[in-house]
Amino acid sequence: MCGIVGYIGHREAYPIIIEGLKRLEYRGYDSAGIALFDGNSLKISKTKGKVSDLEERSEKEITKNGSLGIGHTRWATHGVPNDVNSHPHASNSGDLAIIHNGIIENYDSLKKELISRGYTFQSDTDTEVLINLIEDVKKKENVKLGKAVQIALNQVIGAYAIAVFDKSKPGEVVIARLGSPLAVGVGEDEFFIASDASPFIEYTKNAIYLEDEEMAIIRLGKEIKIRKIIDDSLVDPYVQELQMNLEEIEKGGYEHFMLKEIHEQPRAIRDTYRGRLLRDEAIIKMAGVEDNMKKFLNADRIIIIACGTSWHAGLVAEYIFEEFSRIPVEVEYASEFRYRNPVITEKDVVIAISQSGETADTLAAIKLAKSKGAFVFGVCNVVGSSIARETDAGAYTHAGPEIGVASTKAFTTQITVLTLIALRLARAKGTMSSSDFRLYLQELELIPQKVEQALKVDEHVKQIAKEYLLSTNCLYLGRGYNFPVALEGALKLKEISYIHAEGYPAAEMKHGPIALIDDRMPVIVIATSKGHYEKVVSNIQEIKSRKGKIIAVVTEGDTAVKEIADHVIEIPDSEEAFSPLLTTIPLQLLSYHIAVMRNCNVDQPRNLAKSVTVE
Ligand code: F6R
């Protein structure tokens, strides 16, 4: 987590860094800071709070000129969020400044060593230790900044993306990465440094993504030089052309990114299957699957690894894969999988799902699976991300940048990609007839239109939200394909409105959660017409007889649930396997409206960050 931005060139650095930090605030927003070099002196301004608080403070504290600077937005790991622990951190001499995303795990022993040699520390951070270690190496070894960074990093255990500046050697910034992302925008006589490309998208479309264990010395008027940290060997820079554009990362008239992203889902799903779902030819074309078809067909099982919302998409995929392609599927939290010595063989196919492509636990689980010989397939949204690069093959979800911390369009596009894979395997294995296959292709192609229709419940959902905004607990129930949607609905509500919510398989209610039901407990039930409908209606009756309040998501034209539920929200009819793509829409809207009415920060909920690059 944490977002880092840097600029070295001919423009004023301050506005570029502040605007860039705002775009990276999804990565953390506990504190923010900036260091600017005006040609003579290094000025640092930093504060607890958001980038807007930093703007206010820097207004009073520093003059904002200078065409070299680094900035940081923090998700606190070591040390509480306060002014002192905010980045950038300066070295004891005041010559060096650093911004850092990651964790230095052996910071404590390094700190003790430095203290014994007379260094003092103001903050509780691991980052202040790193900058003083660099300073110490620089003095002891009498080397330049780049070399000092390299020697210091070889003593460090942990993860980092860093940018370091030495005021005695202006015109140069040293960057390095291990386990945390780092991109360099290459312009005309200028360079941009950032955790992702969004801070520099309007200045240049040329980007270099540093690989793990690489560092670079960026000098004005010179080519960027990339080296391996471990052995100093030179690496050829690979300059990529970015596909992203500015509109994609702006709110486009919506009050929040989350609302914009909810409404983008018809387009996002369409983009995800475009060029892959060829209805007229009755084929699905996905290069990553086609090239590795043998691996998929010979697989004893598929293991899906992911975290959070992506894990929920994996659970939906479990139902779809087993139904369509009859391959056994296990879905695992990456954070558990990586630490429990799982049985994995060369006959396993592992599918890793991640919007950001940077989640530390998912990345570690991938490495573990690969080390045991499994074939690992990635489903990521962010192009060029660490997971996209680490996996053996993969398929991107073409959702476009997701900036709201609560995941919405990533979820539905992940399900879309996984559905395409399951359908393709079903045909290859012969577990689905060609007529059913054609029918499913046709149905899948209609989903964006149906999502558009589902989005029309917005105003109705807003009215329902008004009645429940003061609830302290909520229960979400679903069955079959819609059990994971119940989990996802509960996660959305708790993360953005701070109301305690739980998702449960509807039939499991009797085994415990029913004890919670009284006249203050809203229960959101997914009761689509094809998914164990009668059973779910019985569950609704059971809740009603205990005076629970029912908000039911039903298929349009429903009559039975309408008679008993307090509120019904209708969604279009579809194949049951595709219903999660529709039932999830009103649940996203419900959490959104409740959170807005509770005055919560919808796009940046407390304590969270979009990209979880620490374990
Ligand atoms: C919830 C949410 C998180 C992420 C999780 C995994 O709305 O966004 O639960 O789904 O942190 O992130 P990715 O998909 O980037 O690996």
For 319-377, the pLDDT digits (tens) are 999 999 999 999 999 999 999 999 999 999 999 999 999 999 999 999 999 999 999 99
CA of 517 to the centre of ligand 1 (A): 30
Residues touching ligand 1 (Cβ under 6 Å) are 307-310, 354-356, 359, 362, 406-407, 491, 495, 612
Give tens-digit pLDDT for 537-581: 999 999 999 999 999 999 999 999 999 999 999 999 999 999 999
CA of 81 to the centre of ligand 1 (A): 23
Look-up: residue for tokens 């200078």?
66
Per-residue confidence (pLDDT) for residue 583, from 0 to 100: 98
Give tens-digit pLDDT for 243-270: 888 888 888 889 999 999 999 999 999 9
DSSP letters, 252-281, are TT-SSHHHHHHHTHHHHHHHHHTTTEETTT
**Residue 104, strand partner residues:** 158
CB-CB contact of 111 with 155 (8 Å):
no
Per-residue confidence (pLDDT) for residue 288, from 0 to 100: 96
Nearest Cα neighbor of 389 from 166, 211, 187, 521 is 211
Ligand 1 mutation target, pool 337, 356, 488, most atoms within 8 A of CB:
356
Per-residue confidence (pLDDT) for residue 582, from 0 to 100: 98
- In angstroms, rounded to a whole number, what is the distance separating the alpha carbons of residues 302 and 327? 7
- Alpha carbon 221 to chain centroid distance? 35
For helices 126-141 and 107-116, give the axis angle rounded to 10 degrees: 50
Q: Are strands 473-478 and 240-241 parallel, antiparallel or unpaired?
A: unpaired
Per-residue confidence (pLDDT) for residue 419, from 0 to 100: 98
User: What percent of the chain lies above the pLDDT cut of 70?
Assistant: 100
Instruction: Return the CA Rg of the chain.
Output: 26
Give tens-digit pLDDT for 381-431: 998 888 999 999 999 999 999 999 999 999 999 999 999 999 999 999 999
Residue with CA closest to ligand 1 atom 16: 354
CA of 441 to the centre of ligand 1 (A): 28
Nearest Cα neighbor of 493 from 585, 592, 598 is 592
Give tens-digit pLDDT for 181-212: 999 999 999 999 999 999 999 999 999 999 99
pLDDT bucket at 500, cuts 50 / 70 / 90: very high
Per-residue confidence (pLDDT) for residue 601, from 0 to 100: 93
Q: Is 566 exposed, middle or buried (0-12, 13-18, 19+ CB in 10 A)?
A: middle
Give the predicted TM-score (pTM) of the model. Answer: 0.87
Give the 3-state secondary structure percentages of the chain, helix then strand then coil, rounded to 5.
40, 25, 35
CA of 355 to the centre of ligand 1 (A): 7
Q: Which atom of ligand 1 is nearest to the CA of 306?
A: 16
Catalytic machinery residues: 2, 610
CB-CB contact of 205 with 241 (8 Å):
yes
Q: Which atom of ligand 1 is nearest to the CA of 406?
A: 7
Mean pLDDT score of the chain: 94
Look-up: residue for tokens 């699957």?
289
Give tens-digit pLDDT for 512-542: 989 999 999 999 999 999 988 999 999 999 9
Per-residue confidence (pLDDT) for residue 78, from 0 to 100: 79
